[in-house]
Amino acid sequence: MEKISTFLKEVRQELGIISWPKKPDISEGTMVVLVMTAITSIFLMVVDFAFQTIITETLFK
């Protein structure tokens, strides 16, 4: 039980040392993720449409 108590005290100390991100950093990171998700989605949509068109034109002509 003493080991668990010591471990939890050390965890609390380490959490105090961590440099947590500020609100502007979190907002900026969120925007980057959203923009990259949108770009990737658009790219995959274009590739999917291209493959669909190629397959439809060649196989079902």
- Does residue 47 lie within any of the structural domains? yes
Domain range holding 34?
20-61
* Residue 60, pLDDT score: 77
- Does residue 13 lie within any of the structural domains? no
- List the chain pLDDT tens, one digit each, 61 residues: 899 999 999 999 999 999 999 999 999 999 999 999 999 999 999 999 999 999 998 887 6
What is the distance between the alpha carbons of residues 31 and 37, in angstroms, rounded to a whole number?
10
Burial-class residue 8 by CB neighbours within 10 Å (0-12, 13-18, 19+): exposed
- Does residue 59 lie within any of the structural domains? yes
- Does residue 55 lie within any of the structural domains? yes
- Does residue 6 lie within any of the structural domains? no
- For the chain, the domain total comes to 1
pTM, two decimal places:
0.66
- Does residue 3 lie within any of the structural domains? no
- Does residue 1 lie within any of the structural domains? no
Residue 42: partners with Cβ closer than 8 Å, 6 or more residues away: none
What is the distance between the alpha carbons of residues 7 and 18, in angstroms, rounded to a whole number?
17
